Amino acid sequence: MPGVVIIGGQWGDEGKGRVVDRFARDADVVVRFNGGNNAGHTIVVDGKKIILHLIPSGILYSGKKCVITEGVVIDPKVLIEEINNLRANGFFKDDSALLISKNAHIIMPYHKLIDRLREEKKGERKIGTTGRGIGPAYEDKVARTGIRFGELIEPEIFKSRLKELLDEKNLYIEKVLKGNGVSFDSVFTEYSEYASIIKKYASNTLDFLYNSLKNKKKIMFEAAQGVLLDIDFGTYPYVTASHTTPASASIGSGVSHFAIKEVIGVIKAYTTRVGEGPFPTELHSEEGDYLREKGGEYGSTTGRPRRCGWLDGALLKYVVRISGVTGLAITKLDVLSGLKTLKVCVGYKTKSGVKKEITAGEVFENVEPLYEELPGWNEEITGINRFTKLPRNARRYLRFIEKMVGVPIIFVSTGQSREDAIIIKNPFK
């Protein structure tokens, strides 16, 4: 059975957790392959709000295998808190449900410190990172100075790797960033304790995924963040430190790209962004506040208020093109109820003329969004789960998006709960 990748089609927070959760029912294996606990996937199950930062959303069903591969950076403290929270809510009863690659890199205390001190130092030029140490951990991976999960769980190896690295890290923290370095003893003791708790999940995920594919298991790859935050294809430098396009499912997990047959692009019915960086359709008006309040647009990882704006079709076309999206999942359509008129950006006025599609790098230039206006609807649509039951103007809005990007909509969410959704096509069926 081919793999299905679920990606974010905007700047993250599109509601991927919802979509993964819905389709994970029909998958055997759910994989996280990029990012770290900068992500936050919120799922409401039986009225309980569960936020997952690291563990794949498939963990909310029993009998699924959930895999964290080498492309992910792991904060062990956060992982343990997440495991405990899941258990406290009656999930994740079977340890064998979680497999973590021994090659995944570990986020260390100095990564978090460096991330925060650098942002402070940058002042107005800050990126607005989540402060979780993601960038510095990926930097160490690329510099070949990272500590991997397989090393963390071997006490002697961990000790010598930490000794080898810490002097240089502390020198940088103290002399360049003017912060206080971290002590070897406290880091070693704290992280050894974490290692002893999570050691049991260490696996060769490469072999596991290979054999799962061979045995015709259905695999769902769950991306973190959104394509516009991709390190190469996003709005650099206001991006995250890893790849977020579907190709990273293959690179981050070691599964052949031929195994990936469907790419579901998740987009919110409007646009949000956290952190700094360009956002041409951002609303600094009552409509923006309406979206933020009605949509509960506050970060699930940092609690920061999200910037809100109209749907950007010109950027969406770019995302669909570079990601090979085969189906769209539209989330939070219910949030738009009550707005008299909806605007969709259908192109940009740029120095070199009007563009109907724009690449993420170009939105830095002096660009002006061009809008098409569509009539809104007043009816609340929460819980509707048939397309034909939607108000006429809501259907029209969805049809407009489909036509604009040339990809069919396969899923629409109409409320917070698991069942508040319209399923048009299930990628596993």
Site map 22..41 versus ligand IMP, x via CB under 6 A: ----------------xxx-
Residue number, 126 or 217, with CB nearest to ligand IMP? 126
- Of the pair 135, 150, the CB lying nearest ligand IMP is at 135
Among residues 27, 274, 283, 291, the one that binds ligand IMP under rule CB under 6 A:
274
- Does position 12 interact with ligand IMP (CB under 6 A)? The reply is yes
Strand segments, DSSP code E, in 174-242 are: 202-203, 219-226
- The catalytic residue among 13, 28, 75, 334 is 13
Is 348 in contact with 314 (CB distance < 8 Å)? yes
Q: Binding of ligand IMP at residue 113 (CB under 6 A)?
A: no
The count of other CB atoms within 10 Å of the CB of residue 392 is 10
Cα distances (Å, whole numbers) of residue 139 to 79, 206, 327: 21, 23, 33
Verify whether residue 13 is a known catalytic residue: yes
Using Cβ positions, the residue closest to ligand IMP within the complex turns out to be 275
Residue among 109, 73, 115, 77 nearest 185 (CA)? 109
Cβ-contact 371, 313 below 8 angstroms: no
Residue 257 CA: distances (Å) to CA of 5, 110, 263: 11, 35, 12
| Smallest separation (angstroms) from ligand IMP to the CB of 76 | 17
Burial string for 139-173 (b: 16+ CB within 10 Å, else e) reads ebbeeeebbbbbbbbeeeebeebbeebbeebbebb
- Nearer to ligand IMP by C-beta: 40 or 309? 40
Using rule CB under 6 A, residue 7 touches ligand IMP: no
Q: Using CA atoms in the order 201, 199, 135, 19, what is the torsion angle rounded to 10 degrees?
A: 20
Residues 128-167 that bind ligand IMP (CB under 6 A): 128-130, 132, 134-135
* Shortest reach from residue 414's CB to ligand IMP, in Å: 22
41 is catalytic: yes
Q: How far is the CB of 274 from ligand IMP (least distance, A)?
A: 4
Catalytic residues: 13, 41
* Residue ranges in contact with ligand IMP by CB under 6 A: 11-13, 38-40, 127-130, 132, 134-135, 224-225, 229, 238, 240-241, 274-275
